[in-house]
């Protein structure tokens, strides 16, 4: 892959040296960096927008010498947005990342790190009076200080900011420490934000002198976390959220949930992990950006920061430990407490499991859905965080059924054929095909009800609560709580096979609900082989451009998409036409598969942006790692490539 051209946001970008390894220790190529910035663009751009970007480039890879680049080099594409800043010697023209095309161009130039100031162009005036709508505190651990100590300091900063009414957001920096961002109540001058940040850092230094320093002097940092407040200055920049780091391995600045910062195994994240988390949970920094008020000198109450100087001079307070599985459920609002990420099962045989310890459920051939009703409003969310409320109008009445109650329920949306069997093909194709079917929501867990937060309760207790809700659904045709299967495991597997179900899920009766985790406390065993794949290309049929012949599919790996074969059966003529129409707008000129594909296949292939996930059934694997006798089942509109 010596060179190619990629069209992004209507701009053709020449790509060269795509096989150049920029991270030798990890084998990460320029192609992978480009793919990452393209995939994370929707999350990253709001946090870089309206800010001039300083780039740190590694043209020879991270084992070579880097350099900072502020101004746009000669010959830069004319479509790149830019902003001129007056300096003492001359004016400098900076690029501005307003779209994904700019990020791809940065990556092509081996600009791994993207640094921005906290002030925004659109909030500032022509006289260089810079205004910002956020502040940042950079927690830099001193020698031999673990990341977990930074996490504890970050949690303390969160409490300080909460006292003043400011929402805050943690980002593991991809380097040594943590960035804590806060959204200001109104835009302020950069020097005012710097003063606020310094006041916070100084207050914490006085409250916790053994753990925290606000001093720029390096001699003050051993054993402590340095809170760098200076990065709010108009002249300073900070590594942007989601940016890569130019280190030995491709770590990235990763937004985190506050609950993660108390984890004793807290670590920095590699970019594939960041992509996977984004596909599952969306942008955890979404609240940091949004519609903005007009510039002002917004007032921030520094009294709240000063009050922290009067607390006892001990180590930063640590959060309370998580409740054990048999703890009483928390009584908080279901609309704000429950993090909508489903618990997942591991692929592991269940036929020998004891029914005294395990419960057995059918595995349904549908879309995993978390259904929440709060203040009379229904929201259906896929395991990837996709809002699918509008996709299933048949379920809209769920909010009426639960009128007056708040709830978060876990289940599966399925399509039943006339014989009452779940059929994923009917579900995936129901938008375009009028085959007879019935859409239902199968419920199998309850995470919150009327303010009671149940995730820490054992499965057995949650199941009892769910069954207490069953009378509410007695006369509701679109909701069902399927009965459990009799154990032991082999008996449950046999029953699922007789009924033609997809398989069985076994759940440990004592297991709590672990949001977003794939836990061995839940195990699944399928009755046939199927696989979820990513489409990376297609070939036309014998009739030329009018028909789809096959799609080329792969599985995501840490360094890219691995080709596993072609799928060209299992769809109707109408389904193939619809799929071709959906693939056409995704055409790209670059093969997205690692190492390419066989020349005879590649010669007639059209490559597409690998963003569509599909479900494929197959007999087994060939000796070369390809699918044997694959058959199309349908698109997985509830999933993103990062989910696989």
Q: Are residues 362 and 302 in the same domain?
A: no
Q: Can you tell me the mean pLDDT for 3-28?
A: 90
Nearest Cα residue to 630 out of 480, 559, 530, 527 = 530
Could you give the residue numbers annotated as active site?
Answer: 363
CA distances from 327 to 452, 454, 456 (A): 12, 10, 7
Q: Can you tell me the mean pLDDT for 519-535?
A: 84
Nearest Cα residue to 38 out of 242, 239, 246, 240 = 242
pLDDT tier for residue 571 given thresholds of 50, 70 and 90: confident
Q: Which two tokens stand for residue 212?
A: 């925290």
Is 368 in a helix, a strand, or coil?
A: strand
Render 143-168 in DSSP notation, one character per residue: TT--HHHHHHHHHHHHHHHHHTT--E
Question: Who's near 363: CB < 8 A, 6+ residues apart?
Answer: 496, 501, 502, 503, 504, 505, 524, 525, 526
250/442 Cα distance (integer angstroms): 41
Question: Who's near 466: CB < 8 A, 6+ residues apart?
Answer: 409, 443, 444, 445, 446, 481
Q: Are residues 285 and 364 in the same domain?
A: no
Per-residue confidence (pLDDT) for residue 620, from 0 to 100: 62
Q: Are residues 535 and 514 in the same domain?
A: no
Q: Can you tell me the mean pLDDT for 173-188?
A: 93
Per-residue confidence (pLDDT) for residue 307, from 0 to 100: 36
Q: Are residues 294 and 351 in the same domain?
A: no
Domain containing 559 — which CATH number? 2.40.50.140
Residue 292 belongs to domain spanning: 117-321
Q: Are residues 55 and 72 in the same domain?
A: yes
Per-residue confidence (pLDDT) for residue 26, from 0 to 100: 92
Q: How many domains does the chain have?
A: 4
33/59 Cα distance (integer angstroms): 13
Strand pairing category for 251-252 and 518-526 = unpaired
Q: Are residues 586 and 450 in the same domain?
A: no
Q: Are residues 353 and 488 in the same domain?
A: yes
Lowest mean pLDDT across 39-53, 172-186, 276-290, 423-437: 423-437
**Of the ranges 115-119, 194-198, 330-334, 593-597, which is most confident?**
115-119
Question: Which of 509, 526, 543 finishes a domain?
Answer: 526
Q: Is the pLDDT of residue 265 over 90?
A: no
Domain containing 7 — which CATH number? 3.90.920.10
Render 532-599 in DSSP notation, one character per residue: EEEEEEEEEETTEEEEEEEEEEEEEETTEEEEEEEE--S--HHHHHHHHHHHGGGEESS--BTT---H
Render 299-340 in DSSP notation, one character per residue: ---THHHHHGGGS-SSSPPPPPPPPPTTSPPEES-HHHH---
pLDDT tier for residue 340 given thresholds of 50, 70 and 90: low
pLDDT tier for residue 431 given thresholds of 50, 70 and 90: low
H or E element that contains 409: strand 407-416
Per-residue confidence (pLDDT) for residue 144, from 0 to 100: 86
CA distances from 326 to 509, 512, 516 (A): 12, 9, 20
Q: Are residues 423 and 518 in the same domain?
A: yes
Strand pairing category for 518-526 and 503-508 = antiparallel
Per-residue confidence (pLDDT) for residue 251, from 0 to 100: 97
Domain containing 485 — which CATH number? 3.30.470.30
Q: Is the pLDDT of residue 308 over 70?
A: no
Between 447 and 280, the higher pLDDT residue: 447
Nearest Cα residue to 269 out of 242, 251, 292, 295 = 251
**Of the ranges 200-209, 238-247, 359-368, which is most confident?**
238-247
pLDDT tier for residue 329 given thresholds of 50, 70 and 90: very low
Whole-number percent of the chain with pLDDT over 90: 45
Q: Are residues 436 and 477 in the same domain?
A: yes
pLDDT tier for residue 433 given thresholds of 50, 70 and 90: low
pLDDT tier for residue 517 given thresholds of 50, 70 and 90: confident
Is 261 in a helix, a strand, or coil?
A: helix
272/176 Cα distance (integer angstroms): 19
Between 544 and 618, the higher pLDDT residue: 618
pLDDT tier for residue 422 given thresholds of 50, 70 and 90: confident
- Residue-wise pLDDT for 577-596, tens only, equals 889 999 999 999 889 998 88
Q: Are 32 and 130 within 8 A, CB to CB?
A: no
Whole-number percent of the chain with pLDDT over 70: 88
Q: Is the pLDDT of residue 614 over 80?
A: yes
CA distances from 502 to 48, 120, 424, 529 (A): 45, 52, 10, 10
Per-residue confidence (pLDDT) for residue 217, from 0 to 100: 83
Q: Can you tell me the mean pLDDT for 149-155?
A: 93
Lowest mean pLDDT across 6-15, 48-57, 126-135, 539-548: 539-548
Quote the DSSP letter at residue 234: T
Q: Can you tell me the mean pLDDT for 276-305?
A: 62
Q: Are residues 239 and 356 in the same domain?
A: no
H or E element that contains 103: helix 100-108
Please state, rounded to an integer, the average pLDDT across all residues of the chain: 84
Per-residue confidence (pLDDT) for residue 280, from 0 to 100: 83
Question: Which of 468, 494, 526 finishes a domain?
Answer: 526
462/208 Cα distance (integer angstroms): 42
Q: Is the pLDDT of residue 101 over 80?
A: yes
Lowest mean pLDDT across 67-76, 259-268, 541-550: 541-550
Per-residue confidence (pLDDT) for residue 89, from 0 to 100: 65
Longest CA–CA span in the chain (Å) reads: 81
Q: Is the pLDDT of residue 306 over 90?
A: no
CA distances from 179 to 182, 440, 600 (A): 10, 44, 50
Is 267 in a helix, a strand, or coil?
A: coil
Residue 640 burial (10 A CB sphere; 0-12, 13-18, 19+): buried
Q: Are residues 182 and 45 in the same domain?
A: no
Nearest Cα residue to 141 out of 172, 173, 177 = 177
Q: Is the pLDDT of residue 267 over 80?
A: yes
Quote the DSSP letter at residue 471: G
- Residue-wise pLDDT for 458-491, tens only, equals 999 999 999 988 888 888 889 999 999 998 999 9
Question: Which of 496, 526, 556 finishes a domain?
Answer: 526
1/316 Cα distance (integer angstroms): 52
pLDDT tier for residue 295 given thresholds of 50, 70 and 90: very low
Q: Are residues 291 and 389 in the same domain?
A: no
Q: Are 331 and 449 within 8 A, CB to CB?
A: no
Count of other CB atoms within 10 angstroms of residue 241: 30
Per-residue confidence (pLDDT) for residue 3, from 0 to 100: 58
17/451 Cα distance (integer angstroms): 56
Per-residue confidence (pLDDT) for residue 325, from 0 to 100: 33
51/83 Cα distance (integer angstroms): 9
Domain containing 172 — which CATH number? 3.30.70.3300
Q: Which two tokens stand for residue 562?
A: 């691995």
CA distances from 625 to 345, 361, 563, 621 (A): 25, 32, 9, 6
């Amino acid at each position: 892959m010596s060179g190619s051209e990629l069209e992004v946001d209507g701009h053709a970008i020449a790509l060269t040296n795509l096989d150049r390894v920029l991270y030798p220790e990890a084998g990460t190529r320029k192609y992978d960096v480009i793919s990452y910035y393209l995939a994370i663009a929707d999350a990253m751009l709001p946090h870089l927008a309206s800010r001039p970007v300083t780039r740190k480039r590694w043209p020879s890879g991270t084992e070579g010498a880097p350099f900072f680049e502020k101004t746009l080099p000669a010959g830069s594409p004319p479509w790149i947005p830019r902003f001129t800043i007056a300096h003492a010697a001359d004016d400098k023209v900076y690029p501005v990342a307003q779209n994904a095309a700019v990020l791809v161009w940065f990556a092509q130039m081996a600009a791994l790190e993207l640094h921005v100031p906290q002030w925004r162009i659109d909030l500032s005036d022509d006289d260089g009076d810079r205004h910002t709508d956020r502040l940042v505190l950079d927690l830099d651990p001193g020698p031999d200080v673990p990341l977990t100590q930074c996490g504890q300091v970050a949690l303390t900063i969160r409490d300080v900011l909460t006292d003043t009414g400011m929402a805050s957001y943690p980002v593991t920096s991809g380097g040594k420490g943590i960035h804590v961002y806060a959204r200001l109540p109104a835009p302020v001058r950069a020097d005012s934000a710097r003063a606020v940040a310094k006041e916070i850092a100084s207050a914490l230094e006085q409250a916790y002198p053994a753990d925290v320093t606000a001093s720029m002097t390096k001699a003050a940092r051993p054993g402590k976390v340095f809170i760098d407040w200076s990065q709010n200055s108009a002249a300073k920049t900070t590594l942007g959220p989601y940016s890569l780091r130019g280190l030995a391995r491709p770590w990235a600045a990763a937004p985190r949930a506050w609950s993660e910062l108390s984890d004793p195994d807290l670590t920095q994240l590699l970019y594939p992990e960041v992509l996977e988390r984004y596909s599952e949970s969306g942008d955890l920094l979404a609240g940091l950006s949004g519609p903005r008020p007009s510039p002002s000198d917004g007032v921030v109450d520094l009294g709240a920061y000063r009050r922290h100087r009067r607390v006892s001079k001990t180590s930063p307070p640590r959060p309370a430990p998580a409740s054990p599985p048999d703890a009483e459920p928390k009584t908080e609002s279901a609309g704000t407490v429950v993090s909508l990420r489903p618990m997942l099962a591991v692929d592991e045989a269940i036929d020998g499991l004891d029914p005294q310890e395990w419960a057995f459920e059918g595995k349904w051939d549908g879309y995993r859905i978390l259904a929440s009703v709060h203040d009379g409003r229904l929201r259906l969310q896929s395991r990837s965080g996709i809002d699918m409320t509008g996709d299933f109008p048949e379920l809209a009445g769920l909010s009426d059924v639960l009128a007056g109650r708040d709830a978060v329920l876990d289940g599966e949306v399925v399509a039943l054929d006339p014989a009452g069997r779940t059929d994923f093909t009917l579900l995936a194709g129901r938008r375009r095909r009028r085959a007879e079917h019935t859409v239902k929501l199968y419920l199998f867990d309850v995470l919150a009800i009327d303010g009671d937060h149940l995730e820490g309760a054992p499965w057995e207790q949650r199941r009892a609560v769910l069954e207490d809700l069953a009378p509410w659904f007695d006369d509701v045709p679109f909701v069902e709580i399927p009965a459990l299967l009799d154990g032991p495991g082999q008996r449950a597997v046999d029953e699922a096979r007789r009924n033609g179900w997809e398989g069985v899920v076994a759940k440990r009766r004592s297991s709590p609900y672990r949001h977003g985790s794939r836990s061995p406390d839940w195990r699944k065993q399928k009755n046939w082989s199927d696989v979820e794949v990513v489409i990376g290309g297609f070939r036309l049929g014998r009739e030329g451009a009018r028909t789809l012949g096959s799609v080329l599919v792969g599985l995501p790996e840490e360094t890219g998409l691995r080709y596993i074969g072609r799928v060209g059966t299992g769809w109707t003529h109408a389904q193939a036409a619809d799929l071709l129409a959906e693939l056409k707008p995704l055409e790209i000129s670059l093969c997205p598969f690692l190492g390419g594909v066989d020349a005879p296949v590649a010669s007639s292939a059209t490559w597409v942006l690998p963003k569509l996930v599909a479900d494929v059934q197959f007999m087994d694997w060939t000796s070369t790692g390809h699918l044997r006798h694959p058959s199309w089942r349908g698109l997985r509109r509830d999933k993103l490539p990062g989910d696989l």
